[in-house]
Amino acid sequence: MKVLKVDHIGIAVKSLDESLKFYQDMLGLDLQGTEVVEEQKVKVAFLPVGDSELELLESTDPDGPIAKFIEKKGAGLQHVALRVENIEEAIAEMIEKGVKMIDEKPRYGAGGAKIAFCHPKSTNGVLLELSERV
């Protein structure tokens, strides 16, 4: 598996509008756009930072994974995404090495990426996303 870079850092927020005030007004980051990912019950705001980006994640459903995350742990850092060259090969290698995968097949992620999550129990407590962008 070839890891190319940190693709993005996912941050769970209660309100994109409120959170964007901080990231735009206080940090001076530019909003690249937003996207609703129905499959994951989330609205995502993209804020580029150098070669990577911050993704602010707001739940669109009280039963969505981001809403459950915030309920359990509070708003804040939710996951770290690493860009990989080939997602299918990366998943296979992780499984071969004994890493428990939440996704054993790629699924659609924000920004048109193919993604798969590694279970935090296999990554020292970090929700790690593998991401391939074309």
In eight-state DSSP terms, residue 1 is -
Measured CA angle at 82 (ends 14, 133), to 5 deg: 95
**What does the CA dihedral 84, 88, 130, 47 come to, rounded to 10 degrees?**
70
pTM of the model: 0.93
Q: Which domains does the chain have, with CATH numbers?
A: 3-132 (3.10.180.10)
**The pLDDT value given to residue 134:** 78
Helix (H, G, I), strand (E, B) or coil at 63: coil
Residue range 16-53, pLDDT digits in tens? 999 999 999 999 999 999 999 999 999 999 999 999 99
